[in-house]
Structure 1
């Protein structure tokens, strides 16, 4: 026999014990208890302000709710499945503490607007914390970038050597991705910061409540304009999961590069012992577990986004029990994103060392300066397309001869085109190739130093 529920006087028999367990959400929505208590305190104060209950009753309710908060923090309040959900658990305990006045707390409120309020309060706090972690991640990227403005790294397209880059420029690309992530969360926050409290089950209430007052107490920008929308809207949660998914995309892309860079084939970075593990049978190995886990965990967040989209796509207005399924995906996505940001920040700060000699040597081992040969000719009034085709033939013959462009003699260059002079060797030197690209947003050293200064300003603002 299950415990009598608040709503059960309508029913002749008790809920089947297995169905009670299936129906209950207390196992995961207990995470919302602090926000549920905060929302209830605001509701009680609003009920007193509008004379729906007396000031003395409101004070008693607030005192009881704060007692529950302390009991929970001290580990003394641990409701089980019989409570069904966090809202009923709080209401029951409140009535035990303050007596029948506790039953007045639910006046002019439904679980539907209550849970909507809780999840928004929770997500507002988590968005702000995630934004702080993004800033820490950006700071770690900036610290590495400042050390490696003139460190060169091969740039790739199609995972083929393309053009050499400043390593700092490469890292700053991730800084800008993270900046968009921060801004995207700020935008999601705006639509999360709307109060459904007072929408009731779906149609509002006959009581003379003041929704603007309770919204202000909870630091919401405003109340929802439409009660149906207020209790059934999960757009903000979907938007958060979209933003979370993009954060994971960016972390996963950096992870993939670090995994490649740590391989013996690339050998661009050394993994430090504090952020790597070994093999159980191959003692020579050092495994990039952090980026591999980040890359793997990305799918979890993608899955939660897809799940919530599927939940919402066919729901008629207003509230449906399906919406109980929104919370675990949100909770897990928050946990996953925050843990991955933290791990990648630690990895950047103390877990890797760039092998600068190897990186600088790598850009001299290929034909990634071929575009600069074409640019050289174009600067001497040779039409670029003609120059492009000439250089293509040069690369082809050089490959056949086992030579790099830097190994060609001046005579060989001038046989290709008389416009080549001795300064061609300076023009195709990797450092010159990189430093010359000072167009806005380019990889030139001076441009990268300016970009670092702008990034610092963005971070501080």
Structure 2
């Protein structure tokens, strides 16, 4: 029996899972995913060994041996572990390798004061915080593009649609500013959802802490967390940070799906408000005239995957005991990884289509005219002249009905004086209308109240969102800098321990220094 199998087949179990079951439960033990997981595991082990040595829970010689072997594995991209069976999971394969290489007296002390439970929870958080940082960074890129395009098209007049019907005049830039507002909330939601990633679970052990004199604050610091474990049971029992991030990701995905829905609708020949360059469309395999902005469909479909992943995660967690549970720690979070990758792809595609979308100003302005979008503004002008709003609303609505019946396509086709006379006759009073009252662009310029697209209102909103964007970028940059600093501290502590051991490696270590 090899040292590896001997290390595994002791204690309460005299055998391991069969290869088929182990492959299902523990996954493959080769490839990039294995290396990435071991990279996180060994980072945790570096911090743990440094702490154990500083607390004199293991000797400096054993710590140096362990850290040297871990360093070698990391530098070699874990080549020695590739292709080996992992009957009880990747961590125990790796620990068995250390025992095989260094003996139980050294390799067997690595797990002092620890369980696979708190190790797994910590590795989970290390992975999740990297994924979250990447998502926030990409959403900030998308928001920057959105804000830039919004400013560029702030006076590109188009209809504001309500229930797919033209309602009032707005601008393409103002529409995009609304998307930027939604993205601001989505980014803030993801950041807040990730607050649980500040706490390091190490020290929780199996879920009830430990009587070993650990220093959880030290390991937390070396791994870039800001807080040590506070309650062992919660640290092991819960993966709610993943669920919160998934929930926030669903909302971000909905924003992108709704944006894609509008762009897809507006790019149809029936609307013809937006067009896309050739590199953002596909051509039908059978219909040579057809240009398909299919990336928008991919963006929309991705939201369904996000919703499905969140549903699967919460359904798996439901009715599990509030303690260590594979359902929660493994099966419950499994859908989340692919879903968060999907959101990342969704954001990337949204950046491409939003940056590439070309609004058609003449068609947009024509839509504002033909949709009689200044009708509400006309009613408001009558109110300013002393007409009760409901009376003004009724009279203006009847006038629109009459003009459509007469084949008139917009208010601009009728002289303002004639329109005023017809409204006055309906209301039994004299009213006044000028050319500016019938011009969608002039109406847009006047909507400076209630968050409308007027110049002052637009500038205030854009300035506020740009300021918020800069704050979010600074916070993300500072957090990434803090984690890099933690990695450097850990590397220095590891090097100091290794350098403090001058003895050569024992024979049988493959000639490593």
On whether the aligned pair clears a TM of 0.5, the verdict is: yes
- Quote how far apart the aligned CAs of 1:15 are: 2.6
Who is 1:354 aligned against?
Answer: 359
Q: 2:173 is matched with which residue: 168, 176, 193?
A: 168
| Contact preservation (8 Å) 2:85, 2:93 | no
Equivalence for 2:500: none
Determine whether 1:94 maps to 2:98: yes
Query: Structure 2: how far apart are the matches of 1:225 and 1:338?
Result: 32
Q: Give the C-alpha shift of residue 80 in structure 1.
A: 5.2
Q: What residue in structure 2 maps to residue 264 of structure 1? A: 269
Q: Following the alignment from structure 1 to structure 2, what is the Cα–Cα distance between the partners of residues 79 and 216?
A: 34
Question: How far 1:14 sits from its partner (Å)?
Answer: 4.3
- Single out whichever of 306-315 and 89-98 deviates more from structure 2: 89-98
- Residue 123 of structure 1 is matched in structure 2 by 128
Alpha-carbon distance, 1:356 to partner: 1.5
Could you tell me the TM-score, scaled by structure 1's length?
A: 0.93
Task: Provide the rounded CA distance (Å) in 2 between the counterparts of 1:132 and 1:31.
Answer: 21
Distance 1:354 1:81, change over 3 A: farther
TM-score with structure 2 length normalisation? 0.84
The answer (yes or no) to whether the contact 2:18–2:87 under 8 Å persists in 1 is no
Q: Does 1:65 align with 2:66?
A: no
Tell me the distance in 1 between the aligned counterparts of 2:362 and 2:22: 65
Equivalent residues, number: 458
Deviation, 1:131, is 1.1
- Aligned residue among 13, 17, 20 for 2:19: 17
Unpaired runs of 5+ residues, structure 2, are: 472-513
Distance 1:5 1:26, change over 3 A: farther
Task: Please state if 1:339 is matched with 2:350.
Answer: no
Looking at structure 2, the residues matched to 169 and 80 of structure 1 have their Cα atoms a distance apart, in angstroms, of: 58
Higher deviation after alignment, 109-118 or 391-400: 391-400
In structure 1, the residue matched to 2:43 is: 38
**Contact (CA 8 Å) 2:86, 2:92: kept in 1 or not?**
no
Q: Which residue of 2 aligns with 1:420?
A: 431
Q: Which piece of structure 1 moves more, 1-10 or 84-93?
A: 1-10
Preserved contact between residue 255 and residue 295 of structure 1 (Cα < 8 Å): yes
Contact 1:68/1:90 (CA < 8 Å) preserved in 2? no
1:437 touches 1:444 (CA, 8 Å); kept in 2? yes
Deviation at 1:328, TM superposition (A): 2.7
Q: Could you give the per-residue CA deviations for residues 160-199 of structure 1, whole angstroms, max 9, x where no partner exists?
A: 1111111111001111111111111221221122111111
Displacement after TM superposition at 1:113 (Å): 0.6
2:439 corresponds to 1:437: no
Q: Does 1:55 align with 2:56?
A: no
| SS of corresponding position for 2:369 | coil
Deviation at 1:448, TM superposition (A): 1.4
Match of 2:465 among 438, 451, 455: 455
Aligned partners of 1:180, 1:243: CA distance in 2, in Å? 10
Match of 2:481 in 1: none
Say if 1:304 and 1:116 are closer, same or farther in 2 by CA, change over 3 A.
same
In structure 2, the residue matched to 1:307 is 312
User: In the TM superposition, what is the alpha-carbon distance from 1:76 to its structure 2 partner?
Assistant: 6.4
Q: Would you say the 8 A contact 1:79–1:89 is kept in 2?
A: no
